[in-house]
Amino acid sequence: MTLQQLDYVISLSKHKNFEKAAEICFVTQPTLSMQLKKLEEEIGFLIFDRTKKPLQQTPFGSVFIDKATIILEEVNELKAIVNHDIFAIDGEYRLGIIPTLAPYILPLLLPEIASKHSKTNLIIYELQSEEIIERLKNRSLDIAILATPLEEKSLDENIIFYEPFYGYFPDGHYQLKNKFIDINDLDLNELLILEEGHCFRNQTLRICQVKDNFSGNNISYQSGSIETIKRLVEKGMGFSLIPALSKEIGTNPNLLRAFSAPIPAREVSLVSHRNFHKTGIKATAKKIILENLPSEFETGTNIRMIKWR
């Protein structure tokens, strides 16, 4: 078994076509076919079902390809260390980000990446936290920005900031008479929350100290959007908690109220697999985000960090 054979297998899994895979690998189609056959004879099972169009992986083949992908990524990272380019940020990176951060973080990060780092290509995946975690663990994502702590031994978490929560209330709500709000004074029957599966929903429930099966006012919000929740608040359908970054976009400042200390906040981190060694892209992304954050995103003794898992 050789690294070259593994490279052929992964190319076939991506393109599902011998001719295309051979072209990508800069070999002839007979050479690629011969190497695949030799590998399958060595390991004792078929990696691909050649009777299917397009080419499909066998059940054993899927397991083999997943492991081969990890092995080749490890080899490439080892080469990066040897070549002293772990601090370089040129190349292609797969970035995952949760929906409750994407509309607010990406505008801080992407313009500078595009203008100052033209050889850095980011492929963005907007996904919920659990899927991001799985993709980081199986190495189909390189880095991610999401709420932490995750408490996953295979992942490395680099805290970027703590994001305070605010209360957002409809016009005329009794809480708007107060300069600061206390969670114990809120009527939770009026609370609007995101659909299940969002870590921000879990954080909101923990702040409000209610059970996971809490249904608010019995209306299901399938969009999973903080911006949708804000529009509903403005129409008088209840109140909600919103993260500080979201108040910079499409928010009526007269309807916002800060919490009294200790202020509830979520921890936001740059996360990667512990074996991902391209520290340059992580350091650069963190630096750009911090340089563009509002000044209120400073950690301090008045912050009460809310876990979501």
The structure's pTM equals 0.72
Q: What is the pLDDT of residue 256?
A: 95
**Domain identity same for 183 and 240:** yes
Q: In one letter, which amino acid is 269? A: S
**Domain identity same for 141 and 282:** yes
Q: What is the pLDDT of residue 223?
A: 45
**Domain identity same for 271 and 240:** no
What number of CA atoms fall less than 13 Å from residue 120's CA on the CB side? 23
The DSSP code sequence of 109-156 is HHHHHHHH-TTEEEEEEE--HHHHHHHHHTTS-SEEEEEE----TTEE
194 secondary structure, DSSP code = P
**57 near 49, Cβ under 8 Å?**
yes
Phi, psi at 269, each rounded to 5°: -135, 160
Task: Please report the sign of the dihedral spanned by the C-alpha atoms of residue 295, residue 142, residue 107, residue 227.
Answer: negative
Residue 42 lies in a domain: yes
**Domain identity same for 146 and 182:** no
**Domain identity same for 170 and 254:** yes
**Domain identity same for 156 and 205:** no
Distance CA 156, CA 275 (A): 9
Of 22, 49, 82, which marks where a domain is finished?
82
Distance CA 48, CA 40 (A): 9
Burial of 145: CB neighbours in 10 Å, binned 0-12, 13-18, 19+? buried
**Domain identity same for 286 and 155:** yes
Q: What is the dihedral of CA 207, 213, 215, 218, to 10 degrees?
A: 180
**Domain identity same for 45 and 107:** no
Residue 308 lies in a domain: no
Phi, psi at 240, each rounded to 5°: -150, 170
Residue 30 lies in a domain: yes
Q: What is the pLDDT of residue 234?
A: 94
How many domains does the structure of the chain reveal?
3
Distance CA 37, CA 46 (A): 8
Strand-pairing partners, residue 193, are: none
Q: In one letter, which amino acid is 25? A: C
301 secondary structure, DSSP code = T
Phi, psi at 73, each rounded to 5°: -65, -40
Distance CA 135, CA 112 (A): 26
**Domain identity same for 75 and 189:** no
The DSSP code sequence of 239-277 is BEEEEGGGGGSS--GGGEEEEPSSEEEEEEEEEEETT--
Q: What is the pLDDT of residue 301?
A: 55
Print the domain residue range for 235.
163-265
**260 near 165, Cβ under 8 Å?**
no
pLDDT tens digits in sequence order for the chain, 309 residues long: 898 899 889 888 888 888 888 888 888 989 999 999 999 999 999 999 888 888 889 988 889 988 888 888 778 777 766 665 666 788 889 999 999 999 999 999 999 999 999 889 999 999 999 999 999 998 889 999 999 999 899 999 999 999 999 999 999 999 999 999 998 888 888 888 877 767 877 888 788 776 555 555 544 443 468 898 899 999 998 899 999 999 988 899 999 999 998 888 899 999 999 888 888 899 999 999 999 988 766 555 567 777 777
**Domain identity same for 132 and 65:** no
The CATH number that applies at residue 76 is 1.10.10.10
The CATH number that applies at residue 128 is 3.40.190.10
Distance CA 306, CA 264 (A): 6
Q: What is the pLDDT of residue 213?
A: 53
Residue 181 lies in a domain: yes
Of 82, 113, 130, which marks where a domain is finished?
82
Residue 96 lies in a domain: yes
Q: What is the pLDDT of residue 158?
A: 94
Residue 309 lies in a domain: no
Residue 169 lies in a domain: yes
Residue 44 lies in a domain: yes
**Domain identity same for 252 and 118:** no
Question: CA dist 204 to 38, 121, 174, Å?
Answer: 56, 34, 20
Tell me if residue 304 falls in helix, strand or coil: strand
**Domain identity same for 244 and 186:** yes
Of 59, 82, 105, which marks where a domain is finished?
82
Distance CA 290, CA 284 (A): 10
Distance CA 111, CA 285 (A): 12
191 secondary structure, DSSP code = B
Distance CA 241, CA 216 (A): 13
